[in-house]
Amino acid sequence: MLKHLWISALAAVMSLSVPSHSPAQSLIIPNFWDSNERFVKPSLTLRPRLRFLTTTDFPPFNFVDRKKRLSGFHVDLAREICRELDVLAKCQIQALPWNELDKAIEEGEGEAVIAGLAVTAASREKYEFSRPYLQIPGRFVTRRGSEIVEPVYESLFRKTVGVVASSGHKAYFERNFASRTTRIFQTRQMAFNALKNGEVDAVFTDAVSASFWLASSGAEDCCEFTGGPYISEEYFGRGLAIAAKKGDTELAEAFNFALKAINDKGKFKELYLRYFPLGLY
């Protein structure tokens, strides 16, 4: 039995929205917050500053733009968090190499990491995490006009799906679509090129990479999302969360308050559509 999990079935955590700039397309805006849950707004007035640490190599979440400015979804989200917590005047966002983030937090050079740090048993030993604010689903990408439609499992009969070697998406596909045929590629770009050239019928990969390839000139408007999306903590992780220093539960709860407020006020939707105009779900 196919064990994939559809986002559209998660009515408690999803809402459907049609953005005004794209009336022909419906985008699902992720919402992982219980509308009935309440968080207490903490006072951070005694903290001299709130410093978020990030990187520059995780677009569209954090990167350096053409004007050499630190930009991205995470950068704008951090500013909105500071605004909700009334600490915008003492809010700082600094970029460091990925392998220096742990040491910087340990040595007090920052109060939080917002850089896609995986929430694992090991990372929980070092950090206090906020609730996840975004999960990146797996998606199928097919050529426009493809015969692959819902139910995708049935449509993939006698079709070939490209997956990336040693990826969670390969493992997920092989478990849940075990009787369907795969072709393994060493890189995601190789898989996308094979799809565009008709060498495979579909590619199964993460929605962020797929959405940016679909919007790129290299894709030549050949392809589109089909079916899904698919969520799996086991294969794709627990989602994106903000990390505070171990023991600083006050700050982690402050982030929860701010993140829910940002979601409830529609600010998260604005950021999501700004950085993911094709959507992820």
Half-sphere exposure of 264 (CA within 13 A, CB side): 14
Shared-domain flag, residues 32 and 119? yes
Please indicate, yes or no, whether residues 19 and 76 belong to a single structural domain of this protein: yes
Rg for the chain (alpha carbons), in Å?
20
User: Is residue 3 in a domain?
Assistant: no
Query: Which of these, 75, 70, 1, 10, lies nearest to 281 by C-alpha position?
Result: 10
Q: Write out residues in the chain with pLDDT < 70, as ranges.
A: 1-25
Answer yes or no: do 130 and 245 share one domain.
yes
Do residue 224 and residue 242 come from a single domain? no
d(CA 93, CA 113): 10
Amino acid at 15: S
Q: Report the C-alpha gap between 220 and 39 in whole angstroms.
A: 46
Q: Please, are residues 4 and 230 in contact by the beta-carbon 8 Å criterion?
A: yes
Most distant CA atoms of the chain, gap in Å? 63
Token pair in block for residue 270: 């604005």
Q: Domain tally for the chain? A: 2
Domain enclosing residue 173, as ranges: 138-236
Do 116 and 13 fall within a single domain?
Answer: yes
How many whole angstroms separate alpha carbon 128 and alpha carbon 123? 9
- For residue 126, what are its two tokens? 């070092």
* CA–CA separation, 95 and 124 (whole Å): 22
Q: 233 vs 38, 82, 119, 143, 181, CA distance in Å?
A: 25, 29, 10, 28, 24
CATH code assigned at 75 = 3.40.190.10
Length of the chain counted residue by residue: 281
CB of 151 closer than 8 Å to CB of 4: no
Q: What is the pLDDT of residue 27?
A: 84
**Does residue 164 lie within any of the structural domains?**
yes
Q: What are phi and psi of 50, to 5 degrees?
A: -130, 110
In a shared domain, residues 24 and 116:
yes
How far is residue 278's CA from residue 12's CA, in Å, rounded to a whole number? Answer: 23
CA distance 68 to 90: 22
Residues 34, 112 within the same domain: yes
pLDDT at 268: 97
Residue 218 and residue 269 in one domain: no
281, part of any domain: no
Q: Are 268 and 133 in contact (CB under 8 A)?
A: yes
Question: What dihedral do alpha carbons 9, 31, 117, 168 form, nearest 10°?
Answer: 20
Please, are residues 212 and 276 in contact by the beta-carbon 8 Å criterion? no
pTM of the model: 0.85
Strands (E), the chain: 14-17, 27-30, 50-54, 57-58, 62-64, 70-71, 91-95, 112-113, 127-129, 138-143, 160-164, 181-185, 202-206, 223-230, 243-245
